[in-house]
Structure 1
């Protein structure tokens, strides 16, 4: 039976799911997840997708609004999933995230001493990197973001989450790209455009991501450069199966210089770097202020990337080992240590599950900032074998963080500090800092 487009009338929204979807259960306890709907609101909904376990829906009419609703939210950004909880007033976003972390840790490990969430000093216009997708629709090049769970492009009027210079670059491209026939002829090869910007150095990189080499006309390049003086290079990133090559249009500069706190970082066009400079500095300070590092501390920074945490750790300890699997990130990290005149850090390239076994020093502290999947079983075993006095855990997924901390508590660690941080405002994503200490036998 096809339930798509089925309509339910006068539904009262009960709660918000972790992903920021309104929830409703019918008399059979069947769950409905509704986009852009808040607890207490009364709405008519249309089913977009339904299976035997749940249904996804959209609102077609509001009968009653919640006092928590932000009526100025960017609807097109919300449709793309890029701003999944922008319909909530900012104070209510913070409460939503705080309550979720508290619920998760209290239910799973009976821990409820959670510090108040660190609010974002700039809840909008904070992203230093943005990727926008490109499609040819009705004989016109369209830039936008994918509608959530589809390949439909939603053309955007603005990109409120990005830093202002990034918004201005995309505004110019959207307005002018159709004036260049050579680009229109080859647009099927262009998948997306990425812009990353440093407010510190006022430098921008524009990366054109394509499936094949595209002949970008010099007129377009010159006009784009003249429209925004922050652009230091335009790079074409060509993906051919697993091979990636790049072509530089202006010069050999494939990086920008950015800053977190007192440290400067060289960031290549394809480097991973936290998207919110201001808040990540606050996050790192939370970690450092609660690790209680000593001048003789030996530290491992796992998943160290370009060294953004390692350098701060090195300044407060005797020596730091940074473990990272991506070769280019390790090369960046070495350069960043030199740039900041830090010499008590060593970056090791390789799978952290293996490289950690080669560190024979007595390690006092291990800091982990793992991917969303959390700490792997193999790496967890290594942590337990090393038995550091202190573990610092930065997480971008509180579910896997809670799981990992539960394992560490079974191995003789005590959770002494936990604080959520609003790194990605207008979205349901939560960053968290936890500190665990080994309990004396």
Structure 2
């Protein structure tokens, strides 16, 4: 096998034409057989770049000069786009974003040699009519910057906080709520965490598209702090849409946002959201898709791929709070949801009760362990839905599925590389790839979701 030798050196100036986009939204320039990644450039642009890092199989560079621009380059909406790093593709026209996301999936399939001519199986990306103001949740760290309360996001790969007053992909109510709470914290001189100083660490806000209500979580290093009660009172009075306020206590210094303990200080324990005609009650730590409007598109595609007639037994192997399981239960005979996080299963069972759905059963545990026990009890799944984390499906679960051989497997993936790699295993072991449907769950970013249908070959 031919090895790749990177010949460029740090500091080299190189001219060339950008070939494609990489998995993180960076431009890919191929120079004398070498791959160079450059953030902020677009396919077709002729550029001059300066090499900043040389690795074993690739190099990284920064843009020095754009010699010719792409006709698809557009003005960005965000004031801190270049510093924030939360979005990667705002500078690309949205229709072209959809094309490039399909190309990312095709490239992954080609790299892993998943199937011959993958473009025949990979459909056009399903996007949004209005690809802005779609995120229903924000988690912003808080910083005391010379007496000014600042909220925002840390720059990619650093501990520098970029102040964000308005994020164009967040629902407007989210921006308003966090800005208002920041001002109240500053006016009351509520203590803000910093090294040895105890106090507020982060503000988390989730907005319901269904009801308009807002759930607020204040993350603090201590349960009691100066002006706490007055802070809660003013948030309630000055932001009427806030239906509940929670306090999460995080005492350790890990980079994780959440601590172990959460208490409700004001209002309801849950916030309600709807997908289709199903109502979900969400506790502060409950995982829920960040783009409810596009989630309905995603789940409709899952339902389409499952091809349910009302007679099928379905296993949802990574069920979370039961969103997919409850969506499919309307057209299935029985749905079994499996999730390793106990709190999520509690939420799933409650959501089933709220919606009077009786044909679901939720179990705590790893799917690769629980599924064999279900089979031993006589459960014979016709359809298995997989919606794993970015790392993909656990190897033992793949082995278990190849053993029980359900008629259809619907694989929902947020990582084209992991998807392409694992589909190759299923195809080699007796499953036929029917199609791949890319879905744009996060416009303006490089992320792409896929719904895949595989059918058993008898």
Q: Output the TM-score relative to the length of structure 1.
A: 0.91
- The alpha-carbon distance between structure 1 residues 147 and 343, as it changes in their structure 2 partners (threshold 3 A), is same
- Partner residue of 1:198 out of 195, 208, 223: 208
* Aligned: 1:108 with 2:118: no
- Partner residue of 2:160 out of 145, 152, 157: 152
Q: Which runs of 5+ in 2 are unaligned?
A: 1-7
Which deviations, in whole Å up to 9, do the C-alpha atoms of 1:189-231 show, x marking residues without a partner? 4332211110212211111223333515233322222332111
Which deviations, in whole Å up to 9, do the C-alpha atoms of 1:3-32 show, x marking residues without a partner? 9994737664343212111233445x5543
Query: Aligned Cα RMSD in Å?
Result: 2.4
Distance in 2, matches of 1:371 and 1:396, equals 8
Please tell me whether the aligned partners of residues 290 and 417 of structure 1 are also in contact (alpha carbons under 8 angstroms).
no
Distance in 1, matches of 2:163 and 2:65, equals 23
In the other structure, the counterpart of 2:5 is none
In the other structure, the counterpart of 1:346 is 361
Distance in 2, matches of 1:388 and 1:74, equals 46
In the other structure, the counterpart of 1:317 is 332
Distance in 1, matches of 2:382 and 2:193, equals 59
Say which is worse superposed, 46-55 or 61-70, in terms of deviation.
Answer: 46-55
Please tell me whether the aligned partners of residues 294 and 317 of structure 1 are also in contact (alpha carbons under 8 angstroms).
yes
Map 1:33-432 to 2 at 5 A.
33-43=37-47, 45=49, 49-51=53-55, 53-59=57-63, 61-106=65-110, 107-110=113-116, 111=118, 112-184=120-192, 189-215=199-225, 217=227, 218-241=229-252, 244-251=260-267, 253-359=268-374, 360-432=378-450
Distance in 1, matches of 2:50 and 2:177, equals 37
Distance in 1, matches of 2:275 and 2:431, equals 31
Displacement after TM superposition at 1:234 (Å) = 1.8
Displacement after TM superposition at 1:233 (Å) = 1.8
Which deviations, in whole Å up to 9, do the C-alpha atoms of 1:155-190 show, x marking residues without a partner? 123111111111111222344432222335877643
- Partner residue of 1:16 out of 16, 21, 36: 21
Displacement after TM superposition at 1:53 (Å) = 4.6
Tell me the matched-pair count: 436
Distance in 2, matches of 1:394 and 1:272, equals 16
Displacement after TM superposition at 1:344 (Å) = 0.7
Please tell me whether the aligned partners of residues 117 and 421 of structure 1 are also in contact (alpha carbons under 8 angstroms).
yes
Distance in 2, matches of 1:10 and 1:188, equals 51
- The alpha-carbon distance between structure 1 residues 284 and 12, as it changes in their structure 2 partners (threshold 3 A), is same
- The alpha-carbon distance between structure 1 residues 26 and 439, as it changes in their structure 2 partners (threshold 3 A), is closer
Displacement after TM superposition at 1:150 (Å) = 1.3
- The alpha-carbon distance between structure 1 residues 105 and 281, as it changes in their structure 2 partners (threshold 3 A), is same
Q: Output the TM-score relative to the length of structure 2.
A: 0.88
- Where 1:313 maps in the other structure, the secondary structure is helix
